[in-house]
Amino acid sequence: MSLPTEDGKKVCIKMLLSHSLTGSLIGAGGKSIKEIQAVTGAKVHVSNSTEPYPGTSDRVVVIMGDIDNVSLTQTLIWELIGLVTSAENPRDVDWSPQAMVGFLGQNDAVEVVGKITIPAAAGGLMLGRGGEHIRSLASESGAKVHMTGKDEALLTQERVMTISGGVGRCIKCTAMILQRLDESEEAIPYANRGSGYAPANNPFRLPMGAAGSSTGKRSYPGSGDGRDRGGDREEAPVAETVITLAVPDEHMGNIFGRQGATLREIISLSGAKVTVSGRGEFVEGTTNRVITITGSPTAAQTAHMFVTQRLQTPANPNGTRRTSSDIL
């Protein structure tokens, strides 16, 4: 993504990293992330540990600056991925961006897998007619490239590109993606320019303790008594979060989508269980229906974010009329 600024054209890209990799990127007391910014001149921001990319456990790394600065930053991050991947004990990796600059290429043969996201609007730019551009990315870089479909970008407005192969090939592939975004005739910004995806405010969320609201409880895999059916070993408890929303009945079409497609996508992407009270089953004294979200903290928060996004979307933006078959 390119952004026009007073200082000239800037490029922005997002990378998705596991918690362990992000910890190495940040370093003790933020030392490494400060160092990589000083070395490259790019701005690097990492999402909070409680704000993973929707539908994943990965944290978001936003990189912004001149294309050369951003390109060097992504190179160093791929080098970090290779270093950690090849280490016998990843926790013992002592990574210094400044020192790594003098050893670029030493991990080129290490096989790795990484992910970046691009604005959904840039999907066609990456694909090209009949997929010719994405095939060119793969053939010229030597890396394998896969991009999620446009239907999967409905809620995040971002498409995820999974890049795999030797570190050197992944670096080249990412650089080519940056170049293509930079050369676009029109700037294609991210709908969400930050690293967090959780809604700041949600007027539909019930207060704590009301009709379930948001709670944390423990559930146990296996049988109902918390023990494995194959023996007497007790399973470790798994944290479960329950979020309850009260939503005016007239807004439910935004949640369900045509024939329930949007609700199914929210469930699929988040991994949470989402149930809606039936027609006529309202919160007492209102015409609000109850949406209950259940799952791990990450899954529940992701589903909550998606539901909130849909509630903030104007109903029937094109003025089309929904039939009874469109709304459950």
pLDDT at 230: 38
Q: Report how far residue 63's alpha carbon sits from residue 45's, in angstroms, rounded to the nearest whole number.
A: 7
Q: How confident is the model at residue 237 (pLDDT cuts 50, 70, 90)?
A: low
Q: How confident is the model at residue 233 (pLDDT cuts 50, 70, 90)?
A: very low
Q: Output b/e per residue, 38-57; b: 16+ Cβ within 10 A.
A: ebbebebebbeeebbbbbbe
At position 312, the amino acid (one-letter code) is Q
SS3 at position 90: helix
Q: Look at residue 41 and tell me whether its pLDDT is greater than 90.
A: yes
* Max intra-chain CA distance, the chain: 68
Are 244 and 212 spatial neighbours (Cβ–Cβ below 8 Å)? yes
**Of residues 95 and 98, more confidently modeled:** 98
Among 303, 287, 103, 121, CA closest to 202 = 303
pLDDT at 190: 92
Residue indicated by tokens 């798994």:
238
pLDDT over 70, % of the chain: 80
Q: Look at residue 314 and tell me whether its pLDDT is greater than 60.
A: no
For the residues 147-172, what does the mean pLDDT come to? 91
- Pairs from 282-286 (Cβ < 8 Å, separation ≥ 24): 282/249, 283/211, 283/246, 286/246, 286/248
Give the model confidence (pLDDT) of 126-159 as tens digits: 999 999 999 999 999 999 999 998 877 877 889 9
Written as six digits, the tokens of 167 are 């570190």
- Looking only at the bridges linking them, the beta strands covering 2-5 and 8-17 are antiparallel
SS3 at position 233: coil
For the residues 104-122, what does the mean pLDDT come to? 95
Which residues make Cβ contacts (< 8 Å) with residue 122, sequence separation at least 6? 1, 159, 181, 184, 188
